[in-house]
Amino acid sequence: MAVTASGLAVIFGLMGVINFAHGEFMMLGAFVAVWTASFDLFWLSLLLAPVLVGLGSLAIETGLIRRLYDRPLETILATFGLSLVIREAMKFAVGPQFRSLDSPLDGSTLVLGVQYPTYRLLVLAIAASLLLALVLLLRATRFGLLIRAVIANRDLAAGLGVNVSGVYMAAFATGSALAAFAGATLAPLVTIHPEMGPDFLVGAFLPVILAGSSPVALAGSAGLLGGTQSLVGRYWDATAGTIALLLLAVLIMRIRPQGLARR
């Protein structure tokens, strides 16, 4: 959830674009994992999925999203339509069948007296590492400085010579690549099918709504929401976990309407 939400936060926080096709980018990443796993090369998907989807998103940003900046309603409709197109195209290309992957790491690891699947622990470590890398990217690199400048004042940044269109393109590709990486990483843990995107979109949007684009607050809210959903789902069922997730999000928004990252 945290990695998917971080990609959405990059796009929304910088560009103000509500990308309803974000879940489909994650779905595409999962299908890249299915394809590479058929050649016993699952780990290659962690590199190939973000590269392929990131490159494809450049064409989407240039041909569609760029024409809709500062038009939020049109952006929502356009990305919603894009999500439908991607879903139907995948149904035509690979069929509507459900697929699953075996875990690339067998066994479990003892954590605080509880046996926990080793691959899930690896996923947690990867998510934490990516969020840390995102913080460093935003705070310690020239690209991060340009992003913060555009967020603060787009017109002033453009007047100082910043290529705002280039920053937007790079940010959209980065957010889309993160979604694809999350899809490839989660592929062994979920059921894979062309309609899976919307199932993950809500889980990505909620941490962004609660925490904004702050990576630290985003990680905290994603961990809280995802942990609650997993815990309740483990002791009851998946439906109860989703209900608990939504109730917790509503409670937090009621107590902290300004968001977790704002005082």
Neighbouring CB atoms inside 10 A of 263's CB total: 4
Q: State residue 89 phi and psi, 5-degree precision.
A: -65, -40
Which residue spans within 17-175 are E strands per DSSP? 108-111, 114-117
Q: What is the pLDDT of residue 2?
A: 60
pLDDT value, residue 75: 86
pLDDT: which is higher, 37 or 144: 37
How many residues in total does the chain contain?
Answer: 263
Cα–Cα distance measured from residue 85 to residue 139, given in angstroms and rounded to the nearest whole number: 36
Q: Is residue 249 part of a domain?
A: no
For the chain, how many structural domains are there in total?
Answer: 1
In a domain, 218, yes or no: no
Q: 70-120, pLDDT tens digit by residue?
A: 777 888 889 999 999 999 999 999 988 999 998 888 877 777 777 778 888
Distance from CA of residue 220 to its chain's centroid?
15
pLDDT at residue 238, rounded to an integer: 65
> Could you tell me what percent of the chain has a pLDDT over 70?
76
**Any domain includes 21:** yes
206 CB neighbour count, 10 Å cutoff: 24
Question: How does residue 208 score in pLDDT terms, banded at 50, 70 and 90?
Answer: low
pLDDT at position 129 over 60 = yes
pLDDT band at 212; cut points 50, 70, 90: low
Establish if 244 belongs to a structural domain.
no
**pLDDT tier, 154 (very low <50, low <70, confident <90, very high otherwise):** confident
Asked if residue 199 belongs to a domain, the reply is no
C-alpha–C-alpha distance, residues 134 and 127, integer Å: 11
Q: Decide if 122 contacts 191 (C-beta within 8 A).
A: no
pLDDT at 194: 93
pLDDT of residue 18: 77
Q: Within a domain: residue 215?
A: no
Residue 63's domain comprises 2-102+114-193
The residues facing 117 across adjacent strands are 108
Neighbours of 97 (CB within 10 A): 9
Residue closest to 178 by CA, chosen among 58, 53, 44, 76: 53
Q: Looking at the predicted structure, is the pLDDT value of residue 244 above 90? A: no
Torsion angle in degrees (nearest 10) through CA of 146, 179, 85, 45: 120
The angle that helices 197-211 and 215-235 make with each other, rounded to 10 degrees, is: 130
Has residue 214 been placed in a domain?
Answer: no
Per-residue pLDDT, 155: 84
On the question of pLDDT at 64 being above 80, the answer is yes
Specify the pLDDT at position 220.
59
